[in-house]
Amino acid sequence: MTPTTDLLAAYDSQLRLESEMVGARTWHHHGPLVRGVFTESGFVSYRDLGGLGGDEVDRLIADTVAWFRDETDVATFEWKTRGHDLPADLPERLVAHGFVPDLPETVMIGRAEALDRPADLPAGIAVRRAGVGGDLVDDVGRVTRMQADVFGRSAGPDDGDLARRLAAAPHLAGLWLAEDADGTVVCAGRLEVVPGTEFAGLWGGATLAPWRGRGIYRALVAARARAALAMGVAYLHSDCTDMSRPILERSGMVAVTTTTPYNWTRD
């Protein structure tokens, strides 16, 4: 098993800075930060803050708020912190500049080859990739509605945008779903390769309440790991809730840090 410190080092070196700007309309470097503008929001990434502390961090935060406020058209932007980031008082300084924290999540990582594990499915449940054995657009729509039922809100990209992206780049992204004998989607999750890295992300995982604890989501993890290996991916990562963490741990992933988004919104 790869030591947790090595997994965290791979995460920091490959999944921060420019890697988080995929899909941005525009992005640029500002000191230790990379600041990007996406379709409707902004995003701040960094690998570390270069030893900055105190007033220097306050100035960096203030400069970034001023830039998004005065130089962009987005209504909100996210500064995504990690639990091992320094300085330790960064979250308090972000709050002092008007940021509001979202719920913290755990960053999980595992080797793709170790996550391709056999999983028994309940009778009548079948797992397949969206668009294989069904219509891609219809599959995406049904998954999105199921996720909204589970989370009480949309849990991913716009249906049309996602379907077009899945069709255009199947070597970089895929959606897997589990259906019961009546064709109802009971569980689903995406796989997203991070270009230029050894990683792919597991996103949008959701299972209808009556079907939880029966190994279905673990089967979807295994299916995505198998596909990731075929795509040349070495590691899978996921930002997960307390509900998903035990499932991913049983699948072979380990916790390497936490992540908390801090969001700034125009008055």
Contacts of 262 (CB under 8 A, 6+ apart): 78, 79, 80, 81, 91, 94, 95, 99, 100, 101, 102
Pick the CATH number of 118-251 from 3.40.630.30, 3.40.630.40, 3.10.28.10, 3.90.380.10: 3.40.630.30
Confidence band of 180 (pLDDT split at 50, 70, 90): very high
Helix or strand run (H / E) with residue 192 = strand 185-193
Confidence band of 3 (pLDDT split at 50, 70, 90): confident
Helix or strand run (H / E) with residue 108 = strand 105-111
Cα separation, 61 vs 203, whole angstroms: 29
pLDDT at 255: 96
Cα separation, 146 vs 186, whole angstroms: 7
What percentage of the chain reaches a pLDDT higher than 90? 87
Burial of 262 (0-12, 13-18, 19+ CB in 10 A): buried
**Is omega for the bond preceding 87 within 30 degrees of 0, making it cis?**
yes
Cα separation, 73 vs 44, whole angstroms: 15
Cα separation, 261 vs 254, whole angstroms: 21
Lowest-confidence pick of 205-214, 222-231, 238-247, 253-262 = 238-247
Query: Check: CATH 3.40.30.10 for 15-105+260-265?
Result: no
pLDDT at 154: 65
Helix or strand run (H / E) with residue 151 = helix 136-151
As a whole number of Å, the end-to-end CA separation of the chain is 48
Number of Cβ atoms within 10 Å of the Cβ of 266? 10
Q: Do domains 15-105+260-265 and 118-251 have the same CATH topology?
A: yes
Domain segments of the chain as ranges: 15-105+260-265, 118-251
Mean pLDDT of 80-100: 97
pLDDT at 151: 86
Cα separation, 24 vs 31, whole angstroms: 19
